[in-house]
Structure 1
Amino acid sequence: MSQLNNPLDIYKLLPKSNCRQCQVPSCLAFADAIIKGQKRLDDCPHLENNIVEQFDVQVVKRVPYEQQQEQLLEQMKRDMATIDFSSSAKRLGASLSGGKLKLRCLGKYFFVDPKGNITSDCHTNTWIKLPLLDYIMTCSGKSVTGEWVPFRELKNGMTWIPLFEPLCEKPLKQIADIHTDLFEIIMHVFGGKLATNSFSSDISLILYPLPRIPILICYCRPEDELESKLNVFFDTTAEDNLNIRSVFGITAGLVRMFEKIAYRHG
């Protein structure tokens, strides 16, 4: 029988109605609860029996996601030993400083040593560290084009769009709606640059969470009967310099930072 090994696979089977009859806030959270062994697929009242029977959802107790991330981080730190910093700096849009790679991310400098240790004046977490190390190992060095596309139009974007929208775009829009002025200030604090593009918006700034991975965030305030709107765009070269999982990860990490600042100062 088929195994469902990650929340995204399970989410695709669900009605996506967020009805909460399973006692979980959303279908995505329900999918995650199944992976954690906290729920079963037949706890969803809307799934037909043949769907439930088709998949083996006897989920073996898995290592918590946070612990998986930490394990992956430790492996990536060990892999740093294979990277020649001197020859990689140009490829990464970085420089060398005291034997460490020096990268400007979100308007701040991050330093990475040959053991994968990351230091910065800016707060770092696993959401930021993993994509940063992944970027160092896999970035092709392709120059950005200035041509913007939404996440779903990236080569492998549709694979992650069920997670990108609820974990990146929606919470970012919520911050912008509730704390509009603070939202714009945070963007500037993180090195946001005014965008010169054809997108009509009230706030249009480009952030660089990684040197060759710019993100364009456009926000339109509500007007008359029109609701507010927020869109996130990526350069067409994004997947040449970072795999789609890390493109999602670095964006989600950025959103977490915004949320923490808005919570403290909003």
Structure 2
Amino acid sequence: MPQPKNAMEIFRHLDKSNCRECSEKTCLAFAGAVFTGQRKLDECPQLDRETIERFSGESENQTAVEPERGEYLQYLKNETANLDLAAAAQRIGARFSDGKLMLKILGKSFSVDTKGNLYADIHINPWVVIPFLNYVLYAQGLPVTGNWISLRELQDGRERYPLFKRRCEDPMKRVADVYTGLFDDMVHILSGKQVEKQFESDIAVVLYPLPKVPVMICYWSPEDGFESSLNIFFDQITDKNLDINSVFTLSLGLTQMFQKIARRHGFPEDM
């Protein structure tokens, strides 16, 4: 099937029940988010795999909106090329030198130059690029407060939370349940730090995907007949420094990294 020309072409393939299980208000809103590259077609719980693959004409890890996502990325690069990078670096807690703005993402150096070209110490993961550029362009640069809140309390976060829980918190908890060394590896591999027990959790780790966008992961072990639980928290100024879609993208990327760390230690692919 050819690439969709507009959101209505995607909408025709949805069941139009407006079930909201994808966290969008309507199926049409979901179709629009898919078309613009903010969501993936397989995030609709009502669509079976055969329909998704037939619609996209691509593999499970790709979608029919890659050209649109590429266009959005190019737009962000163009906007960055028109930005005063020295002033932006001061605003967001980055460093500017030799025509490049550089900051640390999970302990690794990422840079962008005055032409919008990207550089990194390691492979530039897709889940990092768009949040990184959005942060450079639009972060207000407000300092971290140390007051932690859930995604539901961020702007536009309440409607996103059901999908966030299903795609980020639940898979991360499954890893933590089996892989007891996960949090130690997070600290050492991802330049995080363990902190005093937060919200009476058994383990709390703070990571810095972006300088002014910390993420705290709290894990409660199973005890006295209660199941384990895991929640992800954000500083209360997060939505002033990063849009909710980028927050979701970073969280999903972190979840995938945790799963990869576990697999390196011999844990199953479906973890």
TM range (shorter): 0.7 to 0.9
Q: Deviations over 1:161-182 (max 9, x none)?
A: 1321111111111111121213
Q: What pairs with 1:113-152 in structure 2 (closer than 5 Å)?
A: 113-152=113-152
SS of match in other structure, 2:222: coil
1:122–1:203: structure 2 CA closer, same or farther, 3 Å change rule?
farther
SS of match in other structure, 1:161: helix
Q: Is the 8 A contact 2:182 2:258 kept in 1?
A: no
Q: Deviations over 1:202-225 (max 9, x none)?
A: 220111101110001011222241
Aligned residues: 233
Q: What pairs with 1:165-184 in structure 2 (closer than 5 Å)?
A: 165-184=165-184
- In structure 2, how many angstroms separate the alpha carbons of the residues matched to 1:11 and 1:161? 20
Aligned to 1:260: 260
- In structure 2, how many angstroms separate the alpha carbons of the residues matched to 1:128 and 1:189? 16
Q: Is the 8 A contact 2:88 2:137 kept in 1?
A: no
Name stretches of at least 5 consecutive residues in structure 1 with no aligned partner: 17-25, 40-62
Aligned to 1:160: 160
Q: Deviations over 1:91-122 (max 9, x none)?
A: 11101132111101112221222233332224
1:67–1:95: structure 2 CA closer, same or farther, 3 Å change rule?
same
Q: What pairs with 1:43-192 in structure 2 (closer than 5 Å)?
A: 64-192=64-192
Aligned to 1:250: 250
Matched to 1:250, the amino acid is L
Identity across aligned pairs (percent)? 41
Q: Is the 8 A contact 1:5 1:35 kept in 2?
A: no
- In structure 1, how many angstroms separate the alpha carbons of the residues matched to 2:210 and 2:97? 17
Q: TM-score, normalized by length of structure 2?
A: 0.75
Q: TM-score, normalized by length of structure 1?
A: 0.76
- In structure 2, how many angstroms separate the alpha carbons of the residues matched to 1:193 and 1:186? 8
Matched to 1:237, the amino acid is I
Aligned to 1:30: 46
- In structure 2, how many angstroms separate the alpha carbons of the residues matched to 1:141 and 1:8? 39
- In structure 2, how many angstroms separate the alpha carbons of the residues matched to 1:158 and 1:232? 14
Matched to 2:175, the amino acid is I
Q: What pairs with 1:8-27 in structure 2 (closer than 5 Å)?
A: 12-13=18-19
- In structure 2, how many angstroms separate the alpha carbons of the residues matched to 1:101 and 1:160? 31
Q: Is the 8 A contact 1:131 1:246 kept in 2?
A: yes
Matched to 2:68, the amino acid is Q
